[in-house]
Amino acid sequence: MQRKADTQTLSRLRQDLRRLVVELEGSLEAVFGRSPLVKGTVYEMARKCGKPSCACARGELHRSMVLSWSHKGKTRLMSIPPERLVELRGKSEEYQRLRGARAEVAAIGKKMLAVIDQIERIRREEP
């Protein structure tokens, strides 16, 4: 027979689990999206070309927008033509949202399992 304290604890744990389910549903919104995505991050890169007579040798670095991503453990860079910047930035941001949602889903799943394990411990009886 369950004690009153166990009943109250079970009620709280069930509420926690319901809250986590709602949180999980919210996190999955980015996963259910349909827009294309591109792995990587878009940012501005400043570099020197190495020519001694170039303005970059005096500190006026060459600036360009690049897409950076990891492939088989190596960082890859792709220069972005100006006409594709908006497109690739949007697709990259969509990728970042998806990866963030994935991390949230993993964390919520871990919390859900911990709550379920607590519920099991309270409800389990000896044979």
DSSP 92: H
The pLDDT, as a whole number, for residue 52 is 86
Q: What is the pLDDT along the chain (127 residues), one digit of tens a residue?
A: 557 668 889 999 999 999 999 999 999 998 998 999 999 999 999 988 888 888 888 888 999 999 999 999 999 999 999 999 999 999 999 999 999 999 999 999 999 999 999 999 999 988 8
Closest by alpha carbon to 38, among 66, 67, 65, 64? Answer: 67
Range of the domain at 45: 4-123
* Rg over CA atoms, the chain: 25
Residue 82 phi/psi, 5-degree rounding, is: -50, -35
Task: Report how many domains make up the chain.
Answer: 1
Residue entry with tokens 């570099």:
47
Closest by alpha carbon to 40, among 103, 104, 90? Answer: 90
The pLDDT, as a whole number, for residue 88 is 97
